[in-house]
Structure 1
Amino acid sequence: TALAGNADKRLPVAGIGEIPVMAYGCGGKKRDELLAAIRAGYRVFDTALWPSWGYWQTELAAAIEASGVPREDIIIESKIAPIDFGKVSTPRAINHALRELNTSYIDILVTHHMSCTDGAMCWTDWTQAWRPEQWQPDGHVADAYGAMETAVLEGRVRAIGFSNIDAATLAGVLSLPCRVKPAFVSNYY
């Protein structure tokens, strides 16, 4: 089976034998543990721009490089945090993720933690060293999605979607003109 990607690409999601495919969560994992996962056969990795919660994308990049497995055989999913929602801040976050992951493309990119957009949680956790002081989002999820669409059309992202999104917010975003359809939607956990 395959996940229909955007930009005329298909992302393989076949599991090992009869075992369903599972993404290896990178939170709290360092290079050697991620390298062991690659050597054990994992090929789908879930990460984020969120070092305060243990997501070090540079560690995943180092593990992929050390593994000898070609980049095109690895599927990387990363996320755009609410503090990075906007016409300026989302492209900046995408560029930063590409640099941290040492890759020219991200396979799956999703918006993340929609509940943060109302200020009810998360803001102190999102302040990272790479962001300018007093950094604030310059838009909403629809602006982030538009910037993600542009990244797909430019070939820097293969598939886009939403994580931890409720039905009402998803319907609102999808009611807007859409250049690239979402290939991935995950509801609240």
Structure 2
Amino acid sequence: MDEMKSLQDSYTLNNGVKIPCVGFGTWRTPDGEVAVSAVVEAIKQGYRHIDTAAIYGNEKSVGKAIKASGVPREKLFITSKLWNSEQGYESTLKAFEKTLEDLGLEYLDLYLIHWPVVKGHKEDWQEANLATWRAFEKLYKEGKIRAIGVSNFLPHHLEPLMAKAEIQPMVNQIELHPSLNQEETVAFCKKHNILVEAWSPLASGKIFQVVEMKEMADKHGKTISQVCLRWILQKGILPLPKSITAGRIKENADIFDFEISPKDMQLIDNITTCEGSGTDPDNIDF
């Protein structure tokens, strides 16, 4: 792993595009002033990578924050995701245009298929993903998206897509935190040079109840969230912490001045008391 020393340091995707090593998540951030001020604050604190999605309902606010931040567009890395109901070739192209319009942007840095097996496509999800991916490839070739990828895909979802794709996925964003290591998916992605991003890296707050994490935080003179995000980063994975509180936003960025030893990394790997959301990408009804 390249040594990451700040929020602006980056991973290099399989097409050569650089992606800042920590992203600022906006899931469950309500649209309006709350979202605008959270994203403006994040950019002020040095975040250059903002992650949103059509279904979050806050793309307009994220767009306003980008404008208000005063940071040039080309210095920022903006991700959005295609919602399930829009899967398919033509519908993807339309949904993408709406996302660009809502964000007020000329292009996206990264666009992801949000879920692999969506409502209404239980039987033909492979075809649905492929039709969607063809639209992604078209937008990519036209320069409207700098990188394309997927979200919540397990190896058995990735394989059929990769077998027929002209352009291979560059990113897979999955739920990942201590107790939900996703080892098989991470190994598969690393083997195929697909960068893994971690959504819900703090287990939606459940991580703060884990005794081992409290001990580890005390040992390093850091907070539990800082240790958790550092653990993800040291695995060569990109964490997407989310907060709407200025102090937390700053705290989640302060993970570059310490290192977790291999022994302690393993100890965190072995935590089992911090359940995930329980969402199974093969069995969602949305």
Name the TM-score class by shorter chain. Answer: 0.7 to 0.9
| Selected match of 2:47 from 33, 42, 50 | 42
Instruction: State the secondary structure of the residue aligned to 1:175.
Output: helix
Distance 1:24-1:187 versus aligned 2 partners, 3 A rule:
closer
In the TM superposition, what are the counterparts of 1:1-189 in structure 2 within 5 Å? 1-4=10-13, 6=15, 10-13=17-20, 21-27=21-27, 28-29=29-30, 30-50=35-55, 54-117=56-119, 140-176=128-164, 178-187=165-174, 189=176
Distance 1:171-1:188 versus aligned 2 partners, 3 A rule:
farther
Give CA-to-partner distance per residue, 1:61-89, whole Å, 9 cap, x none. Answer: 11110111001111111111221111110
Instruction: State the secondary structure of the residue aligned to 1:181.
Output: coil
Instruction: State the secondary structure of the residue aligned to 1:95.
Output: helix
Offset at residue 158 of structure 1 (A): 0.5
Alignment-mate amino acid for residue 181 of structure 1: Q
Alignment-mate amino acid for residue 108 of structure 2: I
1:17 alignment counterpart: none
Moved over 3 A (4+): 117-120, 186-189
The number of residue pairs the alignment matches comes to 159
Offset at residue 182 of structure 1 (A): 1.3
**Stretches of structure 2 lacking an aligned partner (at least 5 in a row):** 1-9, 177-286
Give the share of equivalent positions with the same residue, in percent: 27
Distance 1:62-1:187 versus aligned 2 partners, 3 A rule:
closer
Distance across 2 between alignment mates of 1:97 and 1:78: 8
Give CA-to-partner distance per residue, 1:99-142, whole Å, 9 cap, x none. Answer: 1111111001110122424568xxxxxxxxxxxxxxxxxx6111
Distance 1:144-1:96 versus aligned 2 partners, 3 A rule:
same
Offset at residue 5 of structure 1 (A): 6.1
TM-score by length of 2: 0.51
Distance across 2 between alignment mates of 1:149 and 1:5: 15
Distance 1:165-1:188 versus aligned 2 partners, 3 A rule:
farther
Larger relative helix fraction: 2
Distance across 2 between alignment mates of 1:163 and 1:63: 24
Distance 1:39-1:187 versus aligned 2 partners, 3 A rule:
closer
Verify the 8 A CA contact 1:165 1:188 in the aligned structure 2: no
User: RMSD value over aligned CA atoms?
Assistant: 2.2
